[in-house]
Amino acid sequence: MAKVLDGNRIRDEIKTECRSRVEQLISRGRAPGLAVVLVGHNPASEIYVRNKVKTSQELGIAGETITPPEDITTVELLAIVGSLNQRSDIDGILVQMPLPSHIDARRIVEAILPAKDVDGLHPCNAGNLVTGRPGPRPCTPAGIIELLKRCRIPIAGQRAVVVGRSDLVGKPAAFLLLHENATVTICHSKTPDLPAVCREAEILIAAIGRPALITSAYIRPGATVIDVGINRLDNRADVERIFPHDRPGSAQKLEVFDRKGSLLVGDAHPFDVAESAGAYTPVPGGVGPLTIAMLMSNTIDSAERRIGSC
């Protein structure tokens, strides 16, 4: 059976290191400061923000949540970001995505000071990533690299395939792997013979947002599969297709669906990846826990740079 890469364990390691770093900063004058801006009442975003704030409090980071109304304008939101840019007690600014459709999200991201952009999405930080210069890295791709390293999965000299080309995960993950001396291919929905390309990978990053797409036909035997997908199924027929009655564990998954009305699955087929891969991340409990941990690490990085320069 494939080795399960436990994201919760790696998250806890990173959090322990973060606590020590926060204590050192407090001894030098103040705690790191993180401001989270949550516009409106998106239920999923509210859960994400609640988890981020909870983690920051656990670590001793001074957190602040700003909750403007759904109908805030782009100009008004820019003013909030501008005021946070000016505050000396705020080291990191995170504007929770997605924003309401009437807001120009690109202008908002570009308004955040690059030094306080703890999501690593500002064009300056994207350029720093591409060219290998220091700066905050997008949290999920940075978490993937931490997971591989701490689980002692070799990266240098390996063939890596990234399925998905988003600015948030796919592209930055590819560049981070490249900087670790992997040979990297980026694939997407228009890639001809996608399964054949994926089968070349010794490290396969699934970040395309399609539930259970990556079957055994895509997986090189013994490869490491990092499943970034978080897909919520709300149709029982879809759950039954992925978890047929004759497979062990399917009954429990169907019970969870019937109780909650939905079920989370990744981009990799749960049975196929367990049988074909050498190591893989489960969903949930794989990459997801690392995203918030790396957000905390980015915030502390920013505080260390800013307090050190005072």
Sign of CA dihedral 256, 225, 98, 142: positive
The question of whether 3 is a catalytic residue gets the answer no
96 is catalytic: yes
Determine contact, residues 67/42, Cβ cutoff 8 Å.
no
3-state secondary structure of 234: coil
Dump the DSSP string for 73-104.
Answer: -HHHHHHHHHHHHH-TT--EEEEPSSPPTTS-
Catalytic residue among 96, 116, 117, 227: 96
Distance between CA atoms of residues 214 and 137, nearest Å:
26
Catalytic residue among 91, 117, 119, 227: 119
CA angle, corner 219, sides to 238 and 249, nearest 5? 45
Q: Where are the beta strands (DSSP E) in the chain?
A: 3-4, 33-37, 62-66, 92-95, 159-163, 183-187, 203-206, 224-227, 231-233, 263-265, 279-280
Q: Enter the tokens of residue 297.
A: 């690490």
Nearest to 146 by CA among 285, 34, 297: 297
Cα–Cα distance for residue pair 261/68, rounded to 1 Å: 31
Strands, DSSP E only, in 85-195? 92-95, 159-163, 183-187
What is the C-alpha to C-alpha distance for residues 178 and 190, in angstroms, rounded to an integer?
Answer: 22
Edge-first strand order for the sheet with 92-95 is: 62-66, 33-37, 92-95
**Side-chain half-sphere exposure of 74, counting CA atoms within 13 A:** 11
Active site residue 52: yes
Task: With CA atoms as reference, report the closest residue to 273 among 220, 232, 197, 194.
Answer: 220
The catalytic residue positions are: 52, 96, 119
